[in-house]
Chain A
């Protein structure tokens, strides 16, 4: 099996090359078969690998040396262990479903763009696989940047629309701010211990000072803030919804944005050594979770609600990481991948039926037109709201329980966020699927359920959203915490919290109760009277996302642009180049003056000659003095 590991990323890469290079000559069905087929093949290999890891543990496979210098060796190597094999399954499994869905969703595109789409999507899966398979931080960074590139290409997929292009650019640049943090962390490791391999770094933690560890973990976390859309680097993700909806499902919900969680979980040994960073991670995560949830309440674009919901759920995962519940965070990555991919694809199905309308205010009553989409979407909403026994309940509960053990305030804010989540999700559900249809007659006439290539992924993901939680049923509910046991070799720094069963029951009871209340309020409020007017007062602030984009524009983008213009027009032109030209003019001027010396009078020339000789002799004798003179003044 080991010999086949390289095929997992290689197959999507081959798919990318075939679809990319031959996209004009291949038919759409061939493109779709190649594009989805390679991912399915990777999934099958990943599955075999997963069971192999489960039975006989992980391993590291070295291929060649990427960089081989005297003091620095960075191998191109893969680490297949419990953590990466789990992510492989999520990426290739959900990746395959979304490829399948895309085959139908993107069918209106011309051959060339259809091929381009699948090529990008394959390249994305390749990069994402590289990210989780790499055995050191540099290979991870290769994948890290690769997914950023694909995200850029896919957000701007419809490149005729300049708003989409701006969104794509914004995503890439904001990610790069985080990437600088990541790189500096890698440099720090190289400077201190001369290696970036996970196993070596984690074995050498004693060679780091505690300040080193805090710095490295914070810098890595800055990288995670960019990729996983946390405060203050989250504003690109909602804009990234400009891309095709399956892309939002795969990249901007299920996989890429969870890279930061993967990275921190991978580095759990480092993070558990820095109390400061752990607090920072928990607080940033919690703040993001709450902040994004408040924005989601007042969004009217169906994808924007889901986008802020994703930001908020990612915040939850970071809360989990911050309180040491690494397995809980990974568990939430998994269940979130199921239900958020489901919700996005469901939204895609709605948008498809509505002919690219994304404004919920023009929907309503879609329940009877899109039965499969409706049921599966409802499953997704229940799952994300944390209602047992759906998957979201278990993963969210695990994070909340760990948060409570660390600090009850964390738990309180977490539960409040959970209530908001249930509220905005059912606001979305009620506005879209319940009540009466509010679109045009034209749209009403064309409303139809999506083709089976789109509904099958919905059904599969809905099933996973229902049962996904059973992979890790906590002991208090009679389970075995199977995921904990499976991941324990890769996650050695898990914080085990002890709480009495009665406390745990109480915590669960409260979080479920507030979610149910929020759901009931939302359905009652929005199924009959959806919010159709423009928001007023404070709601307007939320609708406008707390004006954070405007704030960034004014405190960062505009000053930077002005500084650039100032450099360009004043310093460069008048200052530096002006000085250079000034020297030129001075030479010209002095030449004109010196010309006067060439008077043609022999006496004058002889005078200069004598003077020159005297200077020369002086220099000859005193060269040391002159040297020291220069030395003194330069």
Chain B
């Protein structure tokens, strides 16, 4: 029952939130909901009977689709990431004011329910259902709260990802007809014996949908606009969790169902990913807007994960698995800092900032830790992930690993540039009146920093979890 509750808790609490009147009550309610979810997933991982991690019920019997969920290693890790991320997001944005906050929090919780469904569903139709379910609240969240251009940007985001999903749906339906007794179960998809030709076509139907979601070069152009225009709380959820949906889905659906195609197209995908790493990093170097900088940095990091998956190597795959978690934690931290800066100073332009470290020393310490986690410095969790991914990629192809490895150089250029422009130097008019971050942000960032360092020194719990 655990996976069902993981979906139901945010779903029900989300629906209730629509009815709450008081903004404070909504915040407390949402926080309460994520605390329960986090506790539940931790209990599910460490204490509960493994049999409670599965659920099966008849759903659309006529179609051969079942209401079936399962928490395996990767799902556990991603559900933990989802619950913990939302908890941290809600702590971090606790002091922010949103117009119509009950709808904001309600939609956030519904989106969380969608994520949980995606990560646990073991039925293709159900998976698709949650895949879209997560998108709908995301659409409203992006279009109702955020920057000036949010409507047109969100429209592109929605149409783009939705178009991808539809292609995938075609693929799902085709596979459905291939199964011996017409079912959508993941198990039966795994057991299909598809010809190479079939795999080669179906591969792209699925992969494009996931590549858009990650997003991967050259399907990424919706992402910087959306991350920039959305309200930062939403951006945190999109890049911390939703981006992992694409990676997750490739590992869960594409790799095992189309092994031949993965083998066949691995070169193309890895080359595109590596182009993505260098391309996005170089653009990040030239960004003046903090949020767009983090957005491109995120593309570069996700691209490395994608390349690592297709190197089809156990070391790299372990790296990807733990990196999904690590990247989520680090990128949420970066967004919290970006939001804190914007709230304090009223701008996200690096060229208009400077000297904030003198006014907000605590924030400066956090950003330094997060910056070095973002460049995958050892002792930060992201080092372990990038080390394993690059090491695996190296075994696939030395040159590709060397080019992908330039991420450690390029990321330090744009990340340190950002830190310097915001925090160092002399204060400017805008930063003159800034004050340090409030308690809730300190708590959120402290949790993140502790996770980053603990998993950087002792990553074994994460390896055990995804085993």
The residue on B at minimum CB distance from A196 is B391
- What residues of A have a CB within 8 angstroms of the CB of B423 in the complex? 159
Across the interface, B391 reaches (CB within 8 A) one of A65, A149, A190, A634, namely A190
Please provide the chain A residues from 146 to 171 with a CB less than 8 Å away from any CB of chain B in the complex: 146, 149, 152-153, 156, 159-162, 165-166, 169
Residues of B within 8 A of A572 (CB): 221, 283
Given contacts A160-B355, A576-B218, contact A169 B405 (CB under 8 A): no
Pair B409/A176 contact, Cβ less than 8 Å: yes
Interface contact A149-B372, CB-CB below 8 Å: yes
A631 interface residue, CB < 8 Å from B?
yes
| Contact segment of A296-304, A539-547, A563-571 | A563-571
Residue in contact with B425 in the complex, picked from A71, A165, A176, A188, CB distance below 8 Å: A165
Q: Are A180 and B402 in contact (CB under 8 A)?
A: yes
| Alpha-carbon separation in the docked complex, A183 to B394 (Å) | 10
Residues of B350-384 whose CB lies within 8 A of A: 355, 357-358, 361, 368, 372, 375, 377-379, 383-384
A586 CB → nearest B CB, Å: 13
B318 interfacial contact with A, CB 8 Å: yes
Chain B nearest CB from A587 CB (Å) reads 9
User: CB-CB < 8 A to A630: which residues of B?
Assistant: 201
Q: How far is the CA of A577 from the CA of B101 in the complex (A)?
A: 33
B198 nearest CB across to chain A (Å): 7
Residues of B within 8 A of A538 (CB): none
B29 on the A face (CB < 8 A): no
**Which B residues are in CB contact (< 8 Å) with A563?**
282
Looking at the complex, which one of A177, A191, A568 makes contact with B286 (CB distance below 8 Å)?
Answer: A568
Report if B406 contacts A (CB, 8 A): yes
Query: Would A634 and B204 count as touching, CB distance under 8 A?
Result: yes
A536 CB within 8 Å of chain B: no
Q: Which B residues are CB-close (under 8 A) to A72?
A: 315, 391
Q: Which residues in window 271-291 of B have CB below 8 A to A?
A: 279, 282-283, 285-287
CB distance from A434 to the nearest CB of B (A): 39
- Separation of A161 and B408 alpha carbons in the complex (Å): 26
- State the Cβ distance, A589 to closest chain B Cβ, in Å: 15
Contact of A173 among B160, B395, B413 (CB under 8 A): B413
State how many angstroms separate the Cβ of B273 from the closest Cβ of chain A.
Answer: 15
- Could you tell me if A634 and B390 are in contact, using CB atoms closer than 8 angstroms? no
- B408 and A179 contact, CB distance less than 8 A: yes
Known: A190-B391, A564-B286. A149 touches B458 (CB 8 A): no
Q: Does B314 contact A (CB under 8 A)?
A: yes
Residues of B within 8 A of A521 (CB): none
Chain B min CB distance to A364 (Å): 34
| Interchain CA distance A571-B401 in the complex, whole Å | 25
Please give, as numbers and ranges, the residues of chain B lying within 8 Å of A190 by CB-CB distance.
Answer: 315, 391, 394-395
Indicate whether B171 reaches chain A with its CB closer than 8 angstroms.
no
> Closest Cβ of chain A: how far from B317's Cβ, in Å?
10
Contact call A567/B282, Cβ cutoff below 8 A: yes
Instruction: Check if A187 sits within 8 Å of B285, measured CB to CB.
Output: no
Q: CB of A142 within 8 A of chain B? A: yes
Q: Are B417 and A169 in contact (CB-based, < 8 A)?
A: yes
A587 nearest in chain B by CB position = B159
Q: Does A141 contact B (CB under 8 A)?
A: yes
Instruction: Find chain A residues with CB under 8 A from B426 CB.
Output: 160, 162
Check if B160 sits within 8 Å of A176, measured CB to CB.
Answer: no
B197: contacting residue among A67, A187, A631, CB under 8 A: A631
Judge if B252 is at the interface, Cβ distance under 8 Å. no
| B424 at interface by CB-CB < 8 Å | yes
Chain B min CB distance to A183 (Å): 6
A568 CA to B279 CA in the complex, in Å? 9
A26 to B153, CA, bound (A): 51
- CB atoms of B384 and A67 under 8 A apart: yes
Q: Do A191 and B412 have beta carbons less than 8 Å apart?
A: no
* A-side interface size class: 35 or more
Which of these, A69, A188, A567, A571, contacts B315 with CB under 8 Å? A69
Query: What's the minimum C-beta distance from B459 to chain A, rounded to whole angstroms?
Result: 7
The docked-state distance in angstroms from the alpha carbon of A169 to that of B222 is: 31
Q: Are A180 and B377 in contact (CB under 8 A)?
A: no
CA distance A169 to B406 in the complex (A): 17
Known A-B contacts A564-B282, A568-B287, A572-B221; the reply to A184 vs B420 at CB < 8 A is no
- When distances are taken between beta carbons in the complex, the residues of chain A under 8 Å from B408 are 176, 179-180, 183
**Is B181 close to A, CB under 8 A?**
no
A597 interface hit (Cβ, 8 Å): no
The answer to whether B167 has its CB under 8 Å from any CB of chain A is: no
Q: Give Cα A186–Cα B378 distance, bound, in whole angstroms.
A: 14
B221 touches A191 (CB 8 A): no
Bound Cα distance from A112 to B405, whole angstroms: 38
Residue of B nearest to A178 (CB): B409
Report how far A64 CA is from B463 CA in the complex, Å: 14
| CB nearest neighbor in A for B375 | A176
Q: Is B387 an interface residue (CB 8 A)?
A: yes
The reply to whether B425 and A160 contact each other, CB–CB distance below 8 Å, is: yes
Q: Are the C-beta atoms of A64 and B458 separated by less than 8 Å?
A: yes
Q: Considering the complex, which residues of chain B in the window 259-318 have a beta carbon less than 8 Å from any beta carbon of chain A?
A: 279, 282-283, 285-287, 314-315, 318
Q: Which residue from A138, A159, A184 sits with its C-beta under 8 Å from B401?
A: A184
Cβ A172 vs Cβ B412 within 8 A? yes
In the complex, residue of chain B having the shortest beta-carbon distance to the beta carbon of A169: B416
Does the CB pair A183–B387 fall under 8 Å? yes
| Residue of A whose beta carbon sits closest to that of B426 | A160
* CB contact between B424 and one of A69, A145, A162, A627 (< 8 Å): that residue: A162
- What CA separation (Å) do A152 and B420 show in the bound complex? 12
Q: How far is it, in angstroms, between the C-alpha of A72 and the C-alpha of B283 when the chains are bound?
A: 35
Minimum CB–CB distance from A118 to chain B (whole Å) comes to: 15
A187 x B286 contact (CB < 8 A): no
**Quick check: is B200 within 8 A (CB to CB) of the other chain?**
yes
A166 to chain B, nearest CB (A): 8
Q: Tell me if B442 is interfacial: C-beta within 8 Å of chain A.
A: no
In Å, the complex CA distance between A145 and B383 comes to 11
Cβ-defined contact, B425 with A159, below 8 A: yes
Decide if A68 touches B460 in the complex (CB within 8 Å): yes
- Roughly how many angstroms separate A191 CA and B398 CA in the complex, as a whole number? 10
Asked if A580 is at the interface of the complex by the 8 Å CB criterion, the answer is: yes
- Contact (Cβ within 8 A) A568 B218: no
A65/B416 contact (C-beta < 8 A), A149-B372, A183-B390, A634-B204 known: no
Q: How far is the CA of A561 from the CA of B413 in the complex (A)?
A: 11
Q: Are A142 and B463 in contact (CB under 8 A)?
A: no
A141 touches B409 (CB 8 A): no
> A518 to nearest B CB, angstroms?
40
Q: Does A560 contact B (CB under 8 A)?
A: yes
Q: Which residue of A lies closest to B401 (CB)?
A: A187
- State A446–B458 Cα separation when bound (angstroms): 54
List B contacts of A564 (CB < 8 A): 282-283, 285-286
Report if A108 contacts B (CB, 8 A).
no
Distance, CA A581 to CA B444, complexed state (A) = 38
CB of A628 closer than 8 Å to a CB of B? yes
Inside 8 A of A112's CB, which chain B residues have their CB? 361
Chain A residues near B457 (CB-CB < 8 A): 66
Contact with A along B416-430 (1 / 0, CB 8 A): 110010011110000
Minimal Cβ-Cβ distance residue in A for B376: A145
Whether B405 and A628, one on each chain, are in contact in the complex, defined by CB atoms closer than 8 angstroms, is no
Is A70 part of the contact surface with B, judged by Cβ < 8 Å? Answer: yes
Pair A628/B197 contact, Cβ less than 8 Å? yes
CA distance A208 to B244 in the complex (A): 39
Q: List 26 A-B contacts (CB under 8 A).
A: A69-B318, A72-B391, A142-B378, A159-B424, A160-B358, A160-B425, A160-B426, A161-B425, A162-B426, A165-B425, A169-B413, A173-B412, A176-B375, A176-B409, A180-B402, A183-B390, A186-B391, A190-B315, A191-B395, A560-B285, A561-B286, A563-B282, A564-B285, A568-B287, A572-B221, A576-B220
Q: A67-B388, A68-B460, A173-B412 are in contact. List 13 more A-B contacts (CB 8 A).
A: A112-B361, A142-B378, A149-B377, A162-B425, A183-B387, A183-B390, A184-B394, A187-B395, A564-B282, A572-B221, A577-B221, A580-B222, A634-B200
